[in-house]
Structure 1
């Protein structure tokens, strides 16, 4: 049986390439609304970060997503992102990679 190709994406924080399923997509719609995209299928410009609380914190400290998505993001968004990433990492450690 032919082995399937694993799609890779680059984390905007670390610059490393990861399998797409190990990253979280942040999407900006045409209207300029930025949201967390757990499915990876929302329309609009996307940026990926690794599911690591340290990466989410670094993105917040350096305002990396503001620059990449060309949008002004609030501290509340970054707080929500950090909580989401922390929760997803804990889930993966408990249940393994789905």
Structure 2
């Protein structure tokens, strides 16, 4: 019987749906305290996942999902930076 490799799933903090890990963007709280998009998915720090959809970021902001995930408040400047970077990721795909 052939072995079936499990595909890691993660939940989007915006829409609360489960997706393959590779299809999501990882937002990471680095040990230095900055919040950034993680291109590789392997950076050190606490991570939260978002769909490649600007609406999910808006929902996450409205429900303060990233603030709960990182257990700290997030400034509006960080959300604006995430929106700009998310726009470049969506355009690439």
Question: Do Structure 1 and Structure 2 share a fold, with TM-score over 0.5?
Answer: yes
Counting only pairs closer than 5 Å after superposition, residues 20-31 of structure 1 correspond to structure 2 as 20-31=21-32
Query: Which digits, 9 at most, give the CA deviation of each residue in 1:24-83, with x for residues without a partner?
Result: 111113343222111111111111111101001122233221121112211111111112
Is 1:80 paired with 2:74? no
Shift in Å at residue 3 of structure 1? 5.5
Give the match for residue 18 of structure 2.
17
Determine the C-alpha separation between the residues in 1 that align with 2:86 and 2:30. 21
Give the match for residue 68 of structure 1.
69
Give the match for residue 6 of structure 1.
7
Unaligned runs of 5+ in 2: none
Give the match for residue 51 of structure 2.
50
Unaligned runs of 5+ in 1: 93-98
Number of equivalent positions: 92
Determine the C-alpha separation between the residues in 1 that align with 2:63 and 2:57. 10
Q: Is the 8 A contact 2:14 2:60 kept in 1?
A: yes
TM-score (norm 2): 0.83
Give the match for residue 95 of structure 1.
none
